[in-house]
Amino acid sequence: MTAERTAGPAARSARMLTLGRWVVVVAAVVVVTLVVGGYGMGWRWTGLSRAVTLWDWMQALLLPLALGMAPVLLLHRRRLRRRHHVILVSALAAFALLIVVGYLVPLVWTGFRAKTLWDWFGLTLLPLVVTATPIWVRADEVRREHLMVAALAVLVFAGFVVEGYTVPLGWTGFVGNTAWDWLKLLLLPVLLPTVVIPLLSSTMLRALVGDDQG
């Protein structure tokens, strides 16, 4: 009976993994077809042209990619090795370089030149929080020094925001945004790691314990 119980979830997990791989493959083929047809062959029905920049692609794909990566990182976080971290850091460094070049050259196809820091917050904040799900799940490992560093970071950021309004720093894009705009920007990214993910984690843990006891 125990073997049957363990085999059932394992089989379902394998089927879901296979299905997920096929979904990724099909989605990749569709995207590549649209890109080649829209940019290279001028298929107007795709809606893709030189007016659709890298920024537009990031708006469409960053959050779905983050939602797709979060479970994988959560399940395999203990299997990550040094080479994985090197690859991740290298990719982030390459992207940071692209951003700098996109502003300085500028590279029109990136669509970065007209974007302010506020725009980058709106684009990346929620995907970053979602991708960092493995960190929020390990809330029991948070120590006093971690909280102190987080509090210091919040204070520094608050000072920077005040400076962005009072100087003002035009490149931040803060001027013109009200407290309501900040609430819309920060509410979900703050609630996810502090309330939603810990609550879901504890609920799932209790459910697993209950299943084992049953």
Taking alpha carbons only, the member of 89, 7, 9, 101 closest to residue 54 is: 101
Mean pLDDT over 115-129 rounds to: 95
In Å, what is the CA distance from 58 to each residue of 69, 119, 132? 15, 12, 18
Nearest-10 Cα torsion for 30, 34, 36, 37: 130
123 vs 82, more confident: 123
- pLDDT, residue 4, reads 47
Task: Check whether 3 has a pLDDT greater than 80.
Answer: no
- pLDDT, residue 49, reads 87
- pLDDT, residue 211, reads 53
- pLDDT, residue 13, reads 63
Task: Check whether 1 has a pLDDT greater than 50.
Answer: no
Task: Check whether 122 has a pLDDT greater than 80.
Answer: yes
- pLDDT, residue 214, reads 54
Taking alpha carbons only, the member of 197, 67, 183, 178 closest to residue 126 is: 67
Mean pLDDT over 74-102 rounds to: 85
Mean pLDDT over 72-96 rounds to: 82
pTM score, whole prediction: 0.80
Mean pLDDT over 145-173 rounds to: 91
76 vs 2, more confident: 76
Given a contact cutoff of 8 angstroms between Cβ atoms, the answer to whether 35 and 48 are in contact is: yes
Confidence of residue 152 (pLDDT cuts 50, 70, 90): very high
Handedness of CA 106, 111, 114, 120 (dihedral sign): negative
